[in-house]
Chains A and B, each alone.
Chain A
């Protein structure tokens, strides 16, 4: 089922949570709503679920083209998974999953045996067969997450909404679980929206990313589109590390390979888009002093200080490249920029 939101506004007192948001989620896709805390992403998700309502007269929410703005949560057929899972703590895992079926009106309710059978099948689906009788407090974070997912799926929702689904897990489980979620989504093909503040997570598993900032949509696109062609400075800075430099410092003759006519304003350079060369190599580039060197991990990170402007520049190079240069702190080095980005209108590459 496709989901559309048009012109959604929401204020909480003086705070504007959503300021005219439009959203389109195509049928069967996995879409990430990405933004820093306070960007309104959870409010948007709760609104799609029917747990929150847009300010009167501001906007509409459509499911498969039908207006559901005024329909309460219980009749929207959405599966909602909270960041902290919100499992019913006094019920066993199996009863948690069965809940949505047990509260149905008598004439829509399957028999108790059928309910339990369905709950067992869902438990299998999320690979927790052996844990039916456990209580939530006896499960690990990743297991709770999957029980919450199974419980949401029990009512056969038409859309799955996940609020920071991996936010409360440790780093290793988080990685495992997000790959699992991607495969799981490929199997069940249910329209899914998940909210996250973690750009790596969004870029890794989503079909499409919606970037939200201060209650507005900054950009929508596939992970590659938004990463390669950020529409705004905010998106550029939010998706990965970036150096923001005053343009004259990186004028054409200086930045080397890039022929750019930047007069003023700011340019944006990713740390891995900077190339280092021995200082006496000549040719294009800028002189910089190595201020800090951090070589643990797959890539080496350096903090350079540009000689002319004293601007600090973060650079990421491979370990091999670094050892070839044989650099130490306070050494001079030549840096060349492979790719820059400016959001000034008259800037052209």
Chain B
């Protein structure tokens, strides 16, 4: 009975909207769908989203591994502060995060005059979008790795050290193989969020068509222009990404379970 309720709930709130996305996307036919996606502004949005992901995800992987390694394997003052700071983006609304960047880097902001003097643009430009996305997605990899690395302890690393391995060898040969599935999982989640982030990016982007619009922003613009089928066509790409993420995620989870 309970299972039936859960399944009905799932169907109603998750599967139905997903089906609706694709139904709406193809409402005006395949021709309109392809035309919407091939349109230069749409292509620019896709390109910008991919560019953002290509910068943010590797940066977060590097940061996430470094932070998790430090927090899980070492004792140092300020450790609990670092742990809290990593969680900050989860606690703060993305819109606030975007506004903070405007406040810091915007024309009226702290570094605004200096940036203008040096002809650098952060807000209403690609760097701002990358920064905002990086901020919002920064907990994903670290959050995934910290409990895993803490559970694994430091004995294997200590052993590697007594056997003569240096820091890099210990990391590449012992630590990384032990966390690779957890890391992959974190990357998938980080990637999904980086592509789908709306709030923070919306604040810093300025919505310049063909220049600073990411896919979620482009969806909003099309929707506001009453091109419902077009909006859903671009949205269906994001939905496809979500589905691919889910499939990958369950493969990784299955692999992780098999390893343990």
Listed in ascending order, the chain A residues whose CB lies under 8 Å from chain B are 49-51, 72-76, 78-80, 82, 84, 86-90, 99-100, 103-104, 151-152, 154-155
Contact = CB atoms under 8 A, between A and B. Distances in A.
B163 A99 contact: yes
8 contacts: A73-B158, A73-B162, A74-B163, A79-B162, A86-B155, A86-B159, A90-B178, A100-B163
B178 A74 contact: no
Nearest to A108: B164
B162 A80 contact: yes
Contact of B160 (A72, A90, A99): A99
A51 B162 CA distance: 8
A86 B158 contact: yes
B163 A49 contact: no
Interface string B160-175: 1111111001000110
A87 B259 CA distance: 15
A74 B177 contact: no
A74 B173 contact: no
Contacts of B158: 51, 73, 80, 82, 86
Closest 9 CB pairs of A and B: A86-B155, A100-B163, A103-B165, A90-B177, A80-B162, A86-B159, A82-B155, A74-B164, A103-B169
A72 B165 CA distance: 11
Interface of B: 155-156, 158-166, 169, 173-174, 177-178, 259
B177 A103 contact: no
A82 B159 contact: yes
Contacts of B155: 82, 84, 86
Contacts of A152: 162-163
A90 B161 CA distance: 17
B162 A74 contact: yes
B106 to A, nearest CB: 45
Contacts of B259: 90
B178 A89 contact: yes
A295 B42 CA distance: 87
